[in-house]
Chains A and B, each alone.
Chain A
Amino acid sequence: MLLTITTTHQPATDLGYLLHKNPARLQSIDISAGQAHIFYPEASPARCTAALLLDIDPIALVRNHRGPAGEGFALEQYVNDRPYVASSFLSTAMSKAFNTAMNGTCKDRPELPDTLLPLEATVAVMPAASAEQLQKLFAPLGYAVETEAHLLDPTVPAWGNSRYFTLRLRHPALRLRDLLSHLYVLIPVLDRGDKHYWINEAEAEKLLHRGATWLPQHPEREFITRRYLRNLAQYVNPTLERLLEGEEALTDDVPPLTSEETATTGLDVAAPSASTTAPAREKQNLHDLRLDRVAETISQLGAKRVLDLGCGEGKLVRRLLKNPQIEHILALDVSWQELQRAQERLHVAEMPPRQRERLTLTQGSLLYHDPRLVGYDVAAVVEVIEHLDESRLAAFEQVVFARARPIAVLVTTPNADYNQRYEQLSAGEFRHADHRFEWTRAQFAEWVAGVAERHGYRARVDNLGPEDAVVGAPSQLAIFEQ
């Protein structure tokens, strides 16, 4: 992984003073995951280039637990792009190698740090969602942005481009420390593979500090902030996590599960990219609406004992706990991770005893008969069935409608008819990577009618969400009653 910084400021060799690194020497410093080498491939008065070359040690990365955790496919921990791409390791290396320059001090040439210089920077290579994303992030800061895409595999042209770019930035007049700050903040933002294992709370604040002068004016400030806050929240900073409570976007980044095949969990949030922030929020509203509606229906049904089947992180549970008529909630999820999140989000450990008695949060599966599910008034199955293979729905049906037999069952699922209203979805594509199917209103109605008939329930299907005259509402809710 390489970063070069070039200036044609006269004399160009001032760069050495600014960086506080002697152009005549190769300097090597130890960083947590390997070594950083600083040297000057050219150093003439007309043009001077400093290079920061990172030599990441992949074995040390594993041994020090600083690399990717290896969820999803376990070997990712051992074979990954970390040694070759610009990542938070580069940011750390920069702050270590160019500390004085980043702070804007220069003992020998005190005026230099504030001097606007013609600067060029090259990053080889920079991971990014697209060349446009690089433009969006760097152009507003005044750079001329040049990107060189790289094929994923030149022997398989059909695979197209990789997510790696050689990035060249040119700025006619910029303080060096601004260039460094921009890179310092934006590199980890761009690198989705980056988990910020290196960061602690103090450094998180430093990160915010580095962006203080330019971030508030940046048109993509929200995206930038979200991206690194999200990463931080997940691993380090509980304070920020609290700030983020209720941020739906968090669910798009749950690490994949223990299967060999990668899969994402979470709700109906589309795969994130720089441009999807707005739709994601719109969907968050839909999900809230859905949960409000389900909670309201449960209340109208006069339920005292409620099953939340597939409770996720406990958003419905939170609503149900507020309803004094509900005496007990059994909230079930198959994902241990989701249950941990629910524990935390609902502050179960700190709940007063009376409230805690009202809630049982436990792992369970809707494909196995479970005697604990018997004897409830209502079961809520919110956005769950579409995560099951269609061939497994028969087992689900037996478990819920034949064995558990609550007096009422509420089932919500996306309305596939509505998908054409989502611009970012191409035809036939699902709203979430883990959806095994999305049903049209007719398909859902048919399934609902069949289940109701086979198990002695009355059922109706309601629209859920703002209705469109042609394609209906984005989501649908079936209400089964015995």
Chain B
Amino acid sequence: MPLTTLKLPELSLVLLIGTSGSGKSTFARRLFKLTEIVSSDHCRGLVSDNENDQTATPDAFALLHYLVGVRLKRGLLTVVDATNVQPEARKSLIQLAREYHVLPAAIILDVPDYVAENRNRARAERQHLGRHVVPQQRQQLRRSLKFLKQEGFRHIYHLHNTEEIDAVQAIVRDPLYSNRKQDTGPFDIIGDVHGCYQELVQLLTTLGYTIETDATQDARDLGMRVTAPAGRRALFLGDLVDRGPDSPAVLRLVMHMVQEGLALCVPGNHDIKLLRHLHGKHVNEQHGFAETLAQLANESDTFKNQVRQFLDGLVSHYVLDGSKLVVAHAGMREEMQGRGSGAVRAFALYGETTGEIDEFGLPVRYNWAAEYRGRAMVVYGHTPVPAPEWLNNTIDIDTGCVFGGRLTALRYPERELVSVPAAQVYCEPVRPLDYLRQLAEAANQGQEANSQLTAQQQHDDVLDIRDVTGKQIIKTRLLPSVTIREENAVAALEVMSRFALNPKWLLYLPPTMSPSETSALPDMLEHPAEAFDYFRRQGVERVVCEEKHMGSRVVVVLARDEEAAQRRFGVIGEGPGRCYTRTGRNFFNDSTLEAAFLARLQEALTKSGFWEQFHTDWLCLDAELLPWSAKAQQLIKDQYAAVAAAATAALPEAAAVLTQASSRGLDGIETLLARTTARQTAAEQYADAYRRYCWPVESLADLRLAPFHLLATEGHTYFEKDHAWHMETLRAICLADEGLLRATPYRVVHLQDLADVEAATQWWLDLTASGGEGMVVKPYDFIPSGRNLVQPALKCRGREYLRIIYGPDYLLPGNLERLRERSVKAKRNLALREFTLGVEGLERFVAGQPLRAVHQCVFGVLALESEAVDPRL
């Protein structure tokens, strides 16, 4: 009975083996996706325009190998449609499969020569094939058959004739054993137990499990009764045995839990050693195996058999919870996760070593986690550490219980560590537990102070250029992805390198803000009506109008004290906080003034009870710092004042000669004179406009900070809070120091309530008439729910203020009409992308992600800022 289905691992490299004319291409097209098939004939065609050009064969195969390599790297099943009858042709493909940890499979299409030859004769492009070709290939094929297994093929299907070939109706793709992506937990992941039964029971009890021993009813139930807290399961990271006092009891408990579906388990190197022993192989009794042997001596053969079967069935590692979690005894590199090969299994058991032996006679470990870039959290054990530390979303939770340390569990997805101390030292470690830590610090020479930082913070001292250069596609919560173009990354790299602060401070860069659409009113460029209309169109019912302060946008990142800054931001000797500009540049040039400013703000926060209220010792604020001239003095002098000076010096001279000429009665002079006088007035109004936002800054007493968003505190962002909440929360802080802090006047407006809208409009008119810059209109909710992301804010700037932006003469006849031709589309698009990245970066920061993940977003905002958008908007 011929097979109708063939089973293959879901990720495999399938070699079709058969002579020319054996029907490989037809078979492949019938049973695989077209994109899964890489054909040698097709490659030959791609490199030579002729599928039969044999001189193109070397290039064609180079291309074939390249395509196969790329597909395997990306984790895609791939079918190689080539004769593959020669061992050397297969060898290079098997090597590719190994390189990418993919299982090789062979399907042999074994048809008689005459069938193949008849088919070849029927095809015009195969006429050139010599009579000897097919028989020769078939001979090679037959010789190959018995070596295939030896060559490394795990799945081999030999289809002996056309009937068997035609009988195959489907390929069944088996998930890899390691694939448990559907399994979402929650889990209690437990590190190396090493026979510490007492501590294991204590830890499980702490975690809410109940464990009772019971007389054995049946050999299979192992004499245990265990219940788990609702929905939770334990997940053992292996090394259940050796060194400790009661390895059989640990095995009994874990096996029972696995059997009852209360636990999962991956093997450790010690477990595998025991398995080899149980298989009757000779194993070295060192490293605590002697103890296990002695303990097992009293156990029944039935139990030992159960242990053998249990260990035999363990899978090297698991990929869980939609690829968000990976567990393995000794860790797992990203490119090996969910793959199958000897190398993957070896890595899972032994981790990565350099091949060198250290002074303690132990293999030197290579810290693969330092280079880890994967999205999955990797939880592992194997190497005892004094305390678990996150590094690039990986964590080693083997805290050396058997060496007198602790037995540790990581609760997933809570990321919470639970541990119990060892009752005693059962075994003296060969090298000290903090050995790796010492090594890492030695490698990070030059940073003596660094030992106070976490492993992640030390790692984050230097970011990798590969994380920011080139085209970047950043996945975010608010938008599926934000793309940073290479040329913008080029500009951002320069600005970031030359001007920005230590990136550890840069949690967030604020987004750009679009103005409302151009006003319909004759003598206005901007008016609240358009901003309200926009939000109404977006289905927003309530908005918040906030007075827009004209100063410099700043982000304040401030800790309660310098120790808190060090703990949370990983900076040493840089003070408790920073106040930086929209481009990540330090706001203050004067460090004494900065220190005084931050100290005042700390005092206000303390006085208002902020730290206690928010259970935090740091915060991140979005704010405006006044006056404008504090930071922009040079700009104001070089540009704004200069323009006014030139205008007020030049125009009166022109008016004087025009007046003189007009007395001569020349035609047309009057018009010219009127226009010049108008420009003179405009120049004065322009000078008044910028002067309003300037006052001399001699000390802290001259500065005002107007915070408008509380962005983040420990473990929290506040994007789910509405703007009225932000305003009121910040007002409470401002009241604690009204000399330095300025609460922002605001009003909530119901867009369907005409009176409300009218009152807000009048408020804006009054504000701008008395010299205010204008207002910012925001949806009441920070991020309104709904299908589309709406603008986080729109600005409506006053008529006088806009002189600073559009020039002194912008309201003169002929000018305003032309300036109305502006489009806010590009600006709004940019604002949304920057907002998205800002939110993402901050969320990543509070979630404790590595700096590079936060920096990618911050860098992205800076890069987007280099996109060419009309700066007057």
Contacts and interface: CB of A to CB of B under 8 A. Distances in A.
A151 B495 CA distance: 34
A159 B809 CA distance: 25
B464 A395 contact: no
B807 interface: yes
A318 interface: no
B671 to A, nearest CB: 9
B666 interface: yes
Contacts of B669: 26, 39
Contacts of A326: none
Contacts of B497: 334, 365-368
A4 interface: yes
A395 B461 contact: yes
B289 to A, nearest CB: 40
A260 B583 contact: yes
Interface in B609-662: 634-635, 637-651, 653-654, 657-658, 660-661
Nearest to A35: B672
B91 interface: no
Interface residues of B, number: 77
Contacts of B582: 260
A30 interface: no
Contacts of B498: 257, 259, 263, 334, 387-388, 434
Contacts of B668: 26, 28
Interface string B664-679: 1011110010011000
Contacts of B667: 25-26
A247 interface: no
A263 B446 CA distance: 31
A58 B642 contact: no
Nearest to B497: A365
B806 interface: yes
Contacts of A389: 501, 586
A429 interface: no
B496 interface: yes
A261 B585 contact: yes
B664 A363 contact: no
Chain A at the B interface: SS class? mixed
Given A74-B871, A81-B646, A394 B446 contact: yes
Interface string A59-81: 10000000000100111111111
Contacts of B32: none
A258 B582 CA distance: 13
B414 to A, nearest CB: 33
B642 A162 contact: yes
Contacts of B648: 150
Given A1-B650, A40-B661, A59 B815 contact: yes
Nearest to B495: A259
Contacts of B461: 394-395, 398
Interface string B360-379: 00000000000000000000
Contacts of A166: 649, 653
B147 interface: no
B54 interface: no
B639 A365 contact: no
B666 A24 contact: yes
Contacts of A257: 494-495, 498
B496 A153 contact: no
Interface stretch (A12-20, A236-244, A299-307, A399-407): A399-407
A152 B466 contact: no
A262 B633 CA distance: 12
Interface residues of A, number: 86
B809 A371 contact: no
Contacts of A81: 642-643, 646-647
A428 to B, nearest CB: 14
B446 A451 contact: yes
A398 B641 contact: no
Nearest to A161: B645
Contacts of A228: none
Contact of B447 (A77, A150, A391, A394): A394
A2 interface: yes
A183 interface: no
B490 interface: yes
Contact of B871 (A42, A70, A150, A162): A70
B37 interface: no
A93 interface: no
A365 B446 contact: no
A80 B639 contact: yes
A53 B654 CA distance: 7
Contacts of B646: 81, 84-85, 125, 127, 150, 162, 164
A402 B441 CA distance: 12
Interface string A397-437: 11101110000000000000000000000000000001000
Contacts of A402: 443-446, 462
Contacts of A450: 446
Interface string B463-486: 111101100000000000000000
Given A25-B667, A43-B664, A53-B672, A259 B645 contact: no
Interface string B111-126: 0000000000000000
Contacts of B676: 53
Contact of A42 (B445, B462, B653, B660): B660
Contact of B641 (A159, A368, A369): A159
Interface of A: 1-2, 4, 24-26, 28, 37, 39-43, 49, 51, 53, 55, 58-59, 70, 73-81, 83-85, 122, 124-125, 127, 150-153, 155-156, 158-159, 162-164, 166, 257-263, 334-336, 363-371, 387-389, 391-392, 394-395, 397-399, 401-403, 434, 450-451, 454-456
Given A152-B641, A162-B642, A369-B463, 7 more contacts: A49-B657, A53-B658, A84-B643, A334-B494, A368-B464, A402-B462, A403-B462
8 contacts: A26-B668, A70-B871, A75-B872, A78-B807, A124-B650, A164-B642, A365-B493, A368-B493
Interface of B: 443-447, 461-466, 468-469, 490-491, 493-499, 501-502, 574, 581-583, 585-586, 634-635, 637-651, 653-654, 657-658, 660-661, 664, 666-669, 672, 675-676, 687, 691, 694, 696, 804-809, 815, 818-819, 866, 871-872
The 3 A-B residue pairs with the shortest CB-CB distance, nearest first, are A454-B446, A41-B660, A74-B871
